[in-house]
């Protein structure tokens, strides 16, 4: 069967760029839960036409981050406990699998790179750089997937964990030190090739989102869906 020639590889489309910008703004709480946005305002702000904004809104609505209301302002959804817990379940399963696959493959260079990530996280906390710490946190976890030989798993994790990330960003002022300590304990267990200890630390680390959510709901009730919704 003859096959049509492939089209030249295209750079990221305007819709993709708008989507990425809005996705990052929602996850980082630059667009807080419950805030109103409009196609026209976003298009003017990003200096693009309304069509890519409309397409990006649709994609974000499918991920559960926007409620699109025809002829009315679009709303950034409030944080859903059910969505966060689903994301945490999927992320934990994938990261534990990657952790177990990484342990027998660890090299001295891998351990040095993980230690450097942790040192950079420490500097970010000292500088009060929440976005920087968040990015370094992700790099640490992505590196474990890559060591395991399953770097593609991070793409799946990143897609699933976005609902968790809003809670993570909200909790960084009070939870970043705990996250850093978890990373240190995890690296210590990985150096010792202690599978049970490493799994325990990873489960505790990723499970912190539940206790953080319970606490943050009291501090920021307007950011969360009402219980049972």
Per-residue model confidence as pLDDT tens digits over 7-40:
554 456 889 999 999 999 999 899 999 999 999 9
Q: Is there a contact between 22 and 56 (Cβ–Cβ < 8 Å)? A: yes
Classify residue 68 by its DSSP letter.
-
pLDDT at 71: 77
pLDDT at residue number 22: 94
pLDDT of residue 4: 52
For 144-195, give the DSSP string: HHHHTT-THHHHHHHHHTHHHHHHHHHHHHHHHHHHHHHHHHHHHHHHTT-H
> pLDDT tens digits, residue range 107-134?
999 999 999 999 999 999 999 998 899 8
Q: Tell me the CATH architecture of domain 14-76.
A: Orthogonal Bundle (1.10)
Q: Quick one: three-class SS letters along 48-60?
A: CCHHHHHHHHHHH
Does domain 81-223 correspond to CATH entry 1.20.120.530? yes
Return the domain boundaries, the chain.
14-76, 81-223
Closest to 54 measured CA to CA, from 64, 44, 40: 40
Whether the CA torsion 209, 129, 61, 77 is positive or negative: it is: positive
Q: Give the per-residue pLDDT at 89.
A: 95
Q: pTM of the predicted model, to two decimals?
A: 0.84
Report the side by side order of strands in the sheet with 74-76: 36-37, 74-76, 66-67
* Interatomic CA distance for residues 44 and 162, integer angstroms: 26
CB 94 within 8 A of CB 153: yes
**pLDDT recorded at residue 6:** 44
pLDDT in tens, the chain (229 residues): 455 554 554 456 889 999 999 999 999 899 999 999 999 999 999 999 999 999 999 999 999 999 988 778 899 999 999 999 999 999 999 999 999 999 999 999 999 999 999 999 999 999 999 889 989 999 999 999 999 999 999 999 988 888 999 998 888 776 789 999 999 999 999 999 999 999 999 999 999 998 888 888 888 999 999 865 4
User: Is there a shared CATH topology between the 14-76 domain and the 81-223 domain?
Assistant: no
């Amino acid at each position: 069967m003859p096959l049509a020639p492939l089209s030249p590889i295209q750079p990221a489309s305007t819709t993709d760029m708008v989507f990425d910008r809005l996705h990052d703004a929602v996850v980082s709480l630059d667009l807080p839960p419950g805030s109103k946005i409009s196609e026209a305002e976003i298009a003017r702000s990003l200096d693009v036409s309304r069509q890519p904004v409309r397409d990006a809104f649709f994609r974000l609505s499918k991920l559960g981050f926007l409620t699109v209301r025809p002829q009315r302002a679009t709303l950034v959804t409030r944080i859903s406990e059910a969505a966060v817990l689903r994301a945490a379940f999927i992320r934990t399963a994938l990261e534990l699998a990657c952790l177990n696959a990484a342990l027998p493959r660890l090299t001295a260079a891998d351990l040095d790179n993980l230690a450097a990530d942790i040192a950079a996280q420490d500097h970010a906390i000292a500088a009060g750089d929440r976005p920087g710490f968040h990015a370094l946190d992700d790099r640490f976890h992505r590196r474990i997937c890559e060591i395991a030989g399953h770097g593609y798993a991070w793409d799946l994790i990143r897609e699933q964990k976005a609902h968790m990330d809003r809670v993570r960003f909200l909790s960084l002022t009070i939870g970043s030190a705990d996250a850093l300590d978890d990373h240190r304990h995890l690296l210590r267990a990985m150096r010792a090739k202690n599978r049970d200890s490493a799994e325990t630390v990873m489960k505790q680390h990723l499970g912190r989102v539940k206790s953080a959510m319970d606490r943050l709901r009291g501090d920021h009730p307007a950011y969360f869906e009402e219980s049972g919704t």
